[in-house]
Amino acid sequence: MIGLGTVGVGVVRLLEQERHLALKKIAVRDLKKERGVALPCELTASVPEIIEDPEIEIVIEVMGGEQPALDFIRRAIERRKHVVTANKELLAKHGPELFALARDNGVAIFFEASVAGGIPLISTIHKGLEANRISAVIGILNGTTNFILSRMEEEGESYQSALARAQKLGFAEADPTNDVDGHDVAYKLSILSALAHGRFVRPESIYRQGIRKVSAADIAQAREFGYRVKLVGMTCLADPDSAGGALSVRVHPMLVPLSHPLAAVSGSNNGILVRGHAVGEITMVGPGAGQMPTASAVVGDAINLASALALPDFASYFQPEIDPTWAATAEPGDFRCPFYLNLSVSDVPGVIGQIGTIFGNHDISIQSIIQRGVQDRGASVIILTQAVLDSNMASALAELQQRDFLLEIVNAMRIFQPEAIHAP
């Protein structure tokens, strides 16, 4: 095993009770660090000692990051070792190369822990739903942001104060960028695209918006309309009738109807909905991170791998069919959904009429509009629209910004309309 941090220690604890698998060596950076767990084997500061050991059949990578993890995994595969990894960043950025390399060397890469921690999502899509054409995987894939948004709703806390609490409780890192700006979800969507649709998506081509701009006031307002704000990631066939075509892959905050199962995913949990043409829709909910849930996925992979080692050609059975080229992505502007808008405007006559005219010019129908007087700063206008193309909303907001009456677009969030994202 490479790495003995949060996840690695969990793996050691779980393997204590496992009779058929033994850890032979664990590589770390700092040999002197106190690990808080009884060590089952020798520690080494030299990863090549593991990779070059002919007795070692499976390398578990729980060190994280892009480099040197990439070099280590490449070399392990070239030495014909099977790999279990929890490293979403690595797979999202180098998946096509690594899976092709594994295929050429007749070994398997297992990666259950890389998405949704303890939820057996990867094996469910890969094996359990094998008979299905998957049209969409949609979910709450980041526990840190879900914890923050849940605190903001339940306690009325500001984003900053909910983030500080998440950091204090160990749910968020000192630099929360990866979580709150949606990078972590984008990595997971790349991996889910490979599994569900056969190709990885370059993380930088995933449309991404984080939660920094979401305010407790927006969350309370959304609640009044019957919605809960969630950071939603999705990878869907842009045209459900054309498997192999472009993918619509995106992550942004959305207003989820309170009656939808994803709205009930609270705290640091993850929740994922998968649509298949035969199964219809299934939803899985559970812990998306944490020491033991993540170790549960890593050790489950290792047990599966070990139990199949003696079978001939088993690696090809376990390897999902992933095309070595990157997926094409749909234009972000072609996405269609209703919007929630929070505008700050001058409190002068005719503003609502002008907003209506601008929206009409861009083919946007308003479903409801509420104006509230706000001292000093003019008025606050809250609008819910019917389903609209992203590109039309962007051009309408650009036109609004040219008008003197507009003080600020306080927030513009999409509304999750399950039926608008094509049915199976």
Q: Amino acid letter at 369?
A: I
CB-nearer residue toward ligand NAP: 263 or 295: 295
Cβ-count burial of 288 within 10 angstroms (0-12 exposed, 13-18 middle, 19+ buried)? buried
Please state the closest distance from residue 370 (CB atom) to ligand NAP, in A.
41
| Burial status of residue 200 (CB atoms within 10 A of its CB: 0-12, 13-18, 19 or more) | buried
Q: Is residue 114 within 8 Å of 200, Cβ to Cβ?
A: no
Question: Could you give the CA distance from residue 288 to residue 285 in angstroms, rounded to a whole number?
Answer: 9
Q: What's the closest the beta carbon of residue 5 comes to ligand NAP, in angstroms?
A: 2
**Residues 279-318: x/- map of binding to ligand NAP (CB under 6 A)?**
----------xx---x------------------------
Rule CB under 6 A: which of 23-52 touch ligand NAP?
27-30, 33, 47
Neighbours of 24 (CB within 10 A): 14
What span, in angstroms and rounded, lies between the C-alpha atoms of 322 and 334? 26
395/390 Cα distance (integer angstroms): 9
The token pair at 135 is 């049209």
Could you tell me the smallest distance in angstroms from the CB atom of residue 59 to ligand NAP? 12
Q: Whose Cβ is closer to ligand NAP: residue 26's or residue 254's?
A: 26
Using CB under 6 A, which of the segments 81-89, 254-262, 355-363, 384-392 binds ligand NAP?
A: 81-89
Quick one: which of 77, 99, 103, 117 contacts ligand NAP (CB under 6 A)? 117
Angle subtended at Cα 235 by Cα 415 and Cα 122, rounded to the nearest 5 degrees:
125
Q: 25, 81, 88, 188: which one is catalytic?
A: 188
Return the residue nearest ligand NAP (CB atom). Answer: 5
The only residue of 24, 37, 57, 64 in contact with ligand NAP, by rule CB under 6 A: 64
Strands (E), 66-175: 82-85, 109-110, 134-140
Q: How many CB atoms lie within 10 A of CB 382?
A: 21
Which tokens go with 62? Answer: 């729980």
Give least dist CB 247 to ligand NAP, A.
Answer: 23
User: For this structure, is 188 an active site residue?
Assistant: yes
Q: Which is nearer to ligand NAP, 64 or 240 (CB)?
A: 64
Q: What is the residue type of 343?
A: L
Tokens of 149: 């948004």
- Which one of residues 50, 58, 62, 234 is an interface residue with ligand NAP (CB under 6 A)? 62
* Closer to ligand NAP by Cβ: residue 120 or 257: 120
H or E stretch at 344: strand 339-345
CB 240 within 8 A of CB 330: no
Select the residue interacting with ligand NAP from 22, 42, 52, 68 (CB under 6 A). Answer: 68
Query: Total binding residues for ligand NAP by CB under 6 A?
Result: 25
**36 vs 349, which CB is nearer to ligand NAP?**
36
* 47 vs 396 by CB, closer to ligand NAP: 47
Segment near ligand NAP (CB under 6 A), from 5-13, 261-269, 339-347, 415-423? 5-13
Q: How far is the CB of 85 from ligand NAP (least distance, A)?
A: 7
Long-range contacts of 166-171 (CB under 8 A, 24+ apart): 171/143, 171/144, 171/147, 171/268
Q: CB under 6 A: which stretch of 2-10, 97-105, 157-165, 409-417 binds ligand NAP?
A: 2-10
CB 400 within 8 A of CB 354: no
Q: Quick check: 113 binds ligand NAP (CB under 6 A)?
A: yes
User: Taking CB under 6 A as the rule, does residue 118 contact ligand NAP?
Assistant: no
Exposure string of 303-339, with b = 16+ CB inside 10 Å and e = fewer, is bbbbeeeeeeebbeebbbebeeebbebbebeebbbbb
Positions 220 through 279 that interact with ligand NAP (CB under 6 A): none
Instruction: Give which of 374, 410, 401 is closest to 215, Cα–Cα.
Output: 410
Should residue 412 be labelled a site residue for ligand NAP when binding is judged by CB under 6 A? no
Binder to ligand NAP among 1, 7, 255, 364 (CB under 6 A)?
7
**Residue among 1, 15, 50, 86 that touches ligand NAP (CB under 6 A):** 86
In the chain the first and final C-alpha atoms are separated, in Å, by 41
To ligand NAP, the closest distance from the beta carbon of 88 in angstroms equals 6
Min separation Cβ 160 and ligand NAP, Å: 23
Q: Which is nearer to ligand NAP, 124 or 294 (CB)?
A: 294
Binding residues for ligand NAP (CB under 6 A)? 2-8, 27-30, 33, 47, 62-64, 68, 86-88, 113, 117, 289-290, 294
Q: Which residues are catalytic?
A: 188
